Amino acid sequence: MHYPLRILFLCTHNSARSQMAEALTRTMGKGDFEAHSAGNEPSGIHPLAIKAMQEVNIELIGQRSKHVSEYADQLFDVIITVCDRARETCPTFPGEPELVHWSFEDPSSVEGDEETQLRAFRNARNFIRDRLSLWLLNKRKLLREAGYNVVV
């Protein structure tokens, strides 16, 4: 285990769920976690993901949609897949990282008017935030037990 804990969020398109998870981890992690995201078929950050995150005062500025190959030789403590397809195609990473799978519905697949679609992005953001909140709390406990001086 490293400090800060290095996390890679994987999703097929790296356009919404993994991008939101990366930004939420940076904000909620307060320096205890180094978050990255990537996808097997990166397609750019979805505008409604940006909007949903801005509503909770988190900017996706500086983030970009990346191919997982950019991280192929890097060491991570945890790889988190946030869609079933990414889980099935997750490449092998060096260093035996912990593999975690969280299946969140793809908000970009929701049809309807913009408000209906935005609601799907808000729901995804909130589900990810809630899951991350508990997960980060648990990981901070493990970091403290390992002797790291984590942010409270």
Annotated active-site residue 64? The verdict is no
Note whether 28 and 132 are within 8 A (CB).
yes
State the Cα–Cα distance between residues 62 and 53, nearest whole angstrom.
14
Annotated active-site residue 90? The verdict is yes
Annotated active-site residue 83? The verdict is yes
Choosing from 50, 83, 120, 128, the catalytic residue is: 83
Choosing from 28, 56, 90, 110, the catalytic residue is: 90
In Å, how far are 31, 65, 87, 98, 136 from 74, measured between CA atoms? 19, 17, 18, 14, 22
Q: Dihedral of the CA atoms 122, 60, 103, 28 (nearest 10)?
A: -90
Choosing from 7, 10, 11, 82, the catalytic residue is: 11
State the Cα–Cα distance between residues 113 and 10, nearest whole angstrom.
28
Question: Residues with catalytic annotation?
Answer: 11, 83, 90
